[in-house]
Amino acid sequence: MRKPILAGNWKMYKKVGEAIKLISELKIKVQDVKDREIIVCPAYTVLNKVKEIIKDSNIKIGAQDVYWEEKGAFTGEISPDMLKDIGCDYVIIGHSERRHYFGETDDTVNRKLKAAFNSGLLPIVCVGETLREREQNLTFKVIEKQVHDGLKGLEDALIPKLIIAYEPVWAIGTGKTATPEEAQEVHKFIRDFLKRMYGEGSSNVIRILYGGSVKPENISQLMSQEDIDGGLVGGASLDAESFSKIVKY
């Protein structure tokens, strides 16, 4: 049985006061939830503050990105150890906005993934096809390459700890959600691929989240699909009421 994960990606939103308000409200609204993992991924500038507020709660914290080097002259970057040091448990890697605007590739995803695991962070690796790729029937090919190259050389023992987020690029922030059946088809494809690569034991425990315009109105249907183990939520995680409804789908 895979424990569902509901993760909120706050992107480049929420200054200190706004973040404190959001997390304080959310903490109260979801305090009784026990059977699912709740993660928030705020901007670096508020990680510390949010961490302080969720201490002793059922909410965990993740970062939205990380660099692969341990330390050094890498102006502007944040290392996995720095994230661990302030109490981060998770990190999003290879979000489509990072791939699109900041030139991230499957190779940088792979380096970041290994570095994150080395420091004890649990990575949420994002994959997803663009609209053009879907229209050209390239979805499975694109996803297979992203998963294969992203995970290349990873120790087999780490595979079960991995979290994958399938986020069709055309559904992120657009209000267009993949239908539960469309999402399930790709989730199953990913799980079958992982099964071929790493065996049934690992593929059965890896959580595969769906992301792309998840809202309180569509989460239950998405979660009713066999291979959908949670959601990575952008816009709807910026409001405590809507994210708490998603958490309690």
| Residues in touch with ligand PEP (CB under 6 A) | 9, 11, 167, 172-173, 211-214, 232-236
Beta bridge partners of 210: 166, 231
Q: Which residue is nearest to ligand PEP (CB)?
A: 234
Residues whose CB falls within 8 Å of the CB of residue 215, separated by 6 or more in sequence, listed in order: 177, 236, 242, 246
Amino acid letter for position 71:
K
Query: Nearest Cα to 59, choosing from 16, 92, 28, 105?
Result: 28
Least distance from ligand PEP to the Cβ atom of residue 43, Å: 13
Residue 248: CB atoms within 10 Å: 15
Catalytic pick among 104, 133, 167, 187: 167
Return the structure tokens found at 73: 């002259």
C-beta of 150 vs 235, nearer to ligand PEP: 235
Least distance from ligand PEP to the Cβ atom of residue 217, Å: 13
Tell me whether residue 167 is one of the annotated catalytic residues: yes
C-beta of 167 vs 202, nearer to ligand PEP: 167
**Alpha carbon distance, N-terminus to C-terminus of the chain:** 18
Least distance from ligand PEP to the Cβ atom of residue 213, Å: 4
C-beta of 94 vs 202, nearer to ligand PEP: 94
204: left (phi over 0), alpha (psi -120 to 50) or beta: alpha
Tell me whether residue 95 is one of the annotated catalytic residues: yes
H or E segment to which residue 170 belongs:
none
Least distance from ligand PEP to the Cβ atom of residue 52, Å: 24
3 state SS of 211 = strand
C-beta of 100 vs 196, nearer to ligand PEP: 100
Catalytic pick among 37, 95, 97, 129: 95
Least distance from ligand PEP to the Cβ atom of residue 81, Å: 25
The b-or-e profile of 145-178 (16+ CB within 10 A means b, else e) is ebbeebbeebeeebbeebbbbbbbbbbbeeeebb
Name the residue with tokens 């291979």: 227
C-beta of 80 vs 235, nearer to ligand PEP: 235
Mind telling me the catalytic residues? 95, 167
